Structure 1
Amino acid sequence: MKIKAFLFALCTLFLWGACTAPKSGENMYNIMDYGAKGDGRTDDAAAIQAAIQACSEAGGGTVLVPAGHTFMCSPFALASFVNLHLEPNSTLLANPNEAAYTLSAFRENRGEGMMWIHGKDLKQVSITGTGTIDGNGVAFMGKELDDSFELKPVSDFDPRPHVLTLVNVEKLVVRDVTIRNSAYWTVHLIGCNDASIDGISIMNNLKIRNGDGIDVDHSKNVRIANCHIESGDDCICLKNRREFEEYGACEDIVVTNCTMISRSCAIKIGSENMDRINRVLFNNCIVKESNRGIGIQNRDEGTVTDVIFSNMIVDCMFFSDVWWGKAEPIYVTSYPRAVGNHKDAGWRFPKGATEGHCGEVSRIYFTNVKCTSENGIFVGSDTPDKVNRIYFKDVNLLLQKRTTYKGGIYDKRPCVGEGFIQDKTYGFYLDTASDILIDDCTVTWGDIRPDFATEGIKQKNVTNLKIR
């Protein structure tokens, strides 16, 4: 009797669930139903935009990019309460026509690229699925060189599209998708709050300059986890750009379980930082085949405080001078920005200023970091108190020469004055800093020890250095 009653209740529950579950297609907006062709040639932007608009106006749901098709498209805007879902074997492909890109990624500063997929002042936005978003980056490049692509000449307008630009989004999810071949930055979060980027792959061409992976800009409460990123420029970068200063600090950021490959700096904080970068945790990450591993590159008046790097493997080597960095596995610096003739140089300093000032870098912790590189760890600033309270605990460095590029050099760029330090290769090179602790660390030379190799630590103008 009890068994019959249980089975009756179970059947009743199943039938009730079947009656109340969403019907197939309910709150689902297939972009092909709105006119998208998916032939890889037709510009499907209008159809995609129509599906997004209909979904948002109906109160939200899923905009479906169906499997088995390539949807070439010009720029389009996301909307609140919309999940853009890419089915397996589906692709969104950026229109290769430069004339299609007219919306600046940096407001009035039009010198650093345009927007492709974008959104502003939104709530509850998602991009999910195992399909692909392809930035068509090579189409926007000049001639291919041995170490990079030439950049086409521009003046105050650079038509190269950023793949995904999201401004002031509350509750954002980007999950599982593959994003590849960006012509400029790939994922740019500006003033976002409560954002989760999980399980995505960013596969950029390693020869494309400015091809950042994920840039977290003036954003808060961001989690990046379980991602694989390959990029010519920085893989994950935290910053506060001057164009978006009203959004305040970049803080409460967690990055975990990621693997990264970069021709520039795999993990970077800066260089643009006109506010505060605070409370940041990088944990359980692997950096390999990169030009620089972990870099704090403060070049503006903002500060960097309370940052932890733990349980990491970092592998670096020299690459050509096209890329900034000289194989420093760990790099902690604060130098005033140089006055330059860059296409957007007018946006580098505070309004009306003709020279830059750099802020404090303090309370930075490195714990259980295993490094293999052709160069040593570099810490430096313009005044002894600017970079302070830097802690190295159980940091192990194997110096191993693997390329034919010249050693005995450290890269301070961008900075006022000489951008390079020519010296021997040390395990730790400390140049103008204070309150440094090196605790239970090792420096070992590999089987190839070049002439410029020397002892473990060099210090210049350092106060309160403790070695245990």
Structure 2
Amino acid sequence: MVIYNILDFGATGNGQIDDAKAIQQAIDECSNAGGGRVVVPAGKTFLTGPFDLKSNIEFYVQTGAILKANPDENVYLESAFRENKGEGTIWIGGKDIEMVSIAGGGIIDGNGVAFMGEDLVHSYELKPFDIVDPRPHMITFIGGNNIKIRDITLKNAAYWTLHLVGCNDVSISDMTLLNSLKVRNSDGIDLDHSKNVRISNCHIESGDDCICFKNRREYAEYGACENITVTGCTLISTSCAIKIGSENMDRISHITFINCIIRNSNRGVGIQHRDEGEVSDIVFSNMLIECRLFSDVWWGKAEPIYITAFPRSTENHKDAGWRLPQGKKNGSVGKIKNITFSNIRCKSENGIIVAGETPDKVSNIRFNDVDLDINKTTQYEGGLYDCRPCEGEGMIEGSTYGFFFSKARNVFVSNCFVNWGDNKPEYYREALKSEAVDRLTIENFEGNAAFPEKYKAIEITETNSVLQRESKREKC
């Protein structure tokens, strides 16, 4: 393999001079020669503005090397979402690239706090902007094929960290991703219209979604997001550790999550459907999920599992201007179906929620061997449902149930268990509550209400075709 060391192209590595020109020259020469390895050498910090990777290149950041984003907002000119210029720019880019890898054991540092405003205790202030939000997304590949990212540390993103749009045949493995838990929009991995992706053995800490699958309207031509496996990852998020949606104008399907651990997160698994696309055929198995409440700055209310399908809000520019179909003032929501949770252990301040606009919007949802421990552990207000960004009231007051099903079809609960901790506020209620569900099956369900002297263990209203096999025993 031919080696192209960026120092040989004029990079200084003094952490003060922008080395983007030298880095781009090394990449271009390597690609023009047919490919090879572009090396960011150990022992130095390379400050750099935007540059693009090319085909047939291994971008190798050596252990002990740091690649750091230039804090000058004026150097970031390319929008991350084409004509939608209000949601960040591109730092490390690549379009229509093939056979590209990022590796080497070093650090790519987005210098995120440099792009933030005041420290607001629970988060950093987002600086105002006119048309272009200059905050750079760390890595944005569009239309890539055969992409590998491995053995690297990504940290301190100012916006999304790894955004793969319309990419096919992707492997992300043994990566450490460490963002500030106070930087809003600092997603970890965003797969956008991407296919045939393997994510394995990664540790991700993020102030927004750790792993998120979506189909953004700006890149509609790339089609569905599908055929994805996620294995052996550990996740920490101030928002949602694993999220499907909310932007989905196409189809998200055929996905498995296996052997993952979620800790200290505001929401565990969220299928947050707000657009006309479809979410289907997803399996979550062998997982530990631990959640807690955070400030209202962050979406979520400590739901370990959250499945909702409601039309998108039209009340603010961010969710209406570029989220709705062109020329439409109102949107619609598609279906969620064939979702399975198996062998899951949850601890949280809130319960599991499944809800749709109408029963046909959410169907064939299975919970098998899902245990839930609920206990109030923080001082943040509970007894709330966070449905943002939905049409109407986004934050709804209500009681907290172990399992709460509202307007769904074909819900199956088998060998599941709810336990309430010692700290039980008065809004803690039934172990299972079902309302307006079409066909509910409960088998070997164990658990009492939080206050069994006041409430039944299971409360079912307006629910058709209930099949309930008696539990072996009830626990409190």
**Structure-2-length-normalised TM-score:** 0.92
- In 2, the alpha carbon distance for the partners of 1:47 and 1:37 equals 9
The answer to whether residue 32 in structure 2 is matched with residue 27 in structure 1 is no
What does residue range 3-14 of structure 1 map to in structure 2 within 5 Å?
none
Report the secondary structure of 1:385's partner residue. Answer: helix
Q: In the alignment, which residue of structure 2 is the partner of 1:295? A: 270
Work out whether residues 155 and 343 of structure 1, in 8 Å CA contact, stay in contact via their aligned partners in 2: no
AA in 2 matched with 1:340? E
1:280 and 2:255 aligned: yes
Cα offset, 1:424, TM superposition: 1.5
User: Equivalent residue for 1:369?
Assistant: 344
Correspondence for 2:323: 348
Q: Which of 97, 104, 110 pairs up with 2:85?
A: 110
Provide, for residues 79-134 of structure 1, a one-character-per-residue CA deviation record: whole Å limited to 9, x for no partner. 00000001111011000000000000000100100000000001100000110000
Q: CA RMSD in A?
A: 0.8
Task: Quote the Cα distance in structure 1 between the aligned partners of 2:369 and 2:264.
Answer: 22
Q: Distance in 2 between matches of 1:259 and 1:372?
A: 16
Aligned length: 443
- Counting only pairs closer than 5 Å after superposition, residues 168-179 of structure 1 correspond to structure 2 as 168-179=143-154
Of residues 359, 381, 385, the one that matches 2:334 is: 359
Q: Which ranges in structure 1 are unaligned for 5 or more consecutive residues? A: 1-25
Whose radius of gyration is greater, 1 or 2?
Answer: 1
Q: Show CA shifts across 1:223-276 (max 9, x none).
A: 000000000000000000000000000000100000000010000000000000
Q: Report whether the alignment pairs 1:267 with 2:242.
A: yes
Name 2:282's counterpart in structure 1.
307
Q: Distance in 2 between matches of 1:42 and 1:203?
A: 25
Instruction: Give the structure 2 partner of residue 381 of structure 1.
Output: 356
**Separation in 2, partners of 1:456, 1:57:** 63
Partner AA of 2:286 in structure 1: N
Name the structure 1 match of 2:206. Answer: 231
1:30-429 map, 5 Å: 30-343=5-318, 345-429=320-404
Q: Is the Cα contact below 8 Å between 1:35 and 1:47 reproduced in 2?
A: yes
Counterparts of 1:160 and 1:121, CA distance in 2 = 23
Contact 1:175 1:200 in 2 (8 A): yes
Q: Does the aligned pair in 2 maintain the 1:111–1:344 contact within 8 Å?
A: no
* Residues 18 and 49 in structure 2, CA contact (< 8 A), matched pair in contact too: yes
Give the Cα–Cα distance (whole angstroms) in 2 for the partners of residues 69 and 163 of structure 1: 20
- Deviation track 1:381-416 (CA, whole Å, cap 9, x = no partner) reads 101110000000000000021101122111111101
Does the 8 Å CA contact 1:156/1:343 hold for their aligned counterparts? no
Task: Please tell me whether residue 448 in structure 1 is matched to residue 418 in structure 2.
Answer: no
Encode CA deviations 1:166-214: one digit per residue, 9 max, x unaligned: 0011100000100000000000000000000000011000000000000
Amino acid in structure 1 at the alignment position of 2:381 = K
The offset of 1:345, in angstroms, is 3.2
Structure 2 spans left out of the alignment, 5+ residues: 444-476
Question: Counterpart of 1:21?
Answer: none
Deviations 1:327-349 (A, max 9, x none): 00000111000103224732111
Query: Greater CA deviation, 390-399 or 424-433?
Result: 424-433
Cα deviation, residue 161, structure 1 = 0.1
Find the residue that maps to 1:421 and give its secondary structure. Answer: strand
Question: What do the CA deviations read for 1:274-303 (whole angstroms, capped 9, x no partner)?
Answer: 000010000000000000000000100000
Instruction: Give the Cα separation in 1 of the matches to 2:179 and 2:73.
Output: 19
Output the CA distance in 2 between the equivalents of 1:88 and 1:149: 30
Distance in 2 between residues matched to 1:113 and 1:342, nearest whole Å: 15
1:144 partner amino acid: D
Residues 156, 344 of structure 1: 8 Å contact kept: no
Segment of structure 1 superposing worse, 334-343 or 173-182: 334-343
Q: Distance in 2 between matches of 1:412 and 1:428?
A: 16
Determine helix, strand or coil for the equivalent of 1:52: helix
- Does structure 2 retain, via aligned residues, the 8 Å contact 1:333–1:381? yes
Residues 112 and 344 of structure 1 are in contact (CA less than 8 Å); yes or no, is this contact kept in structure 2? no
TM-score by length of 1: 0.94
Checking the alignment, whether the CA contact within 8 Å between 1:138 and 1:181 is kept in structure 2 is yes
Contact kept in structure 1, 2:312 and 2:319, CA below 8 Å: no
Q: Give the secondary-structure state (helix, strand or coil) at the position aligned to 1:347.
A: coil
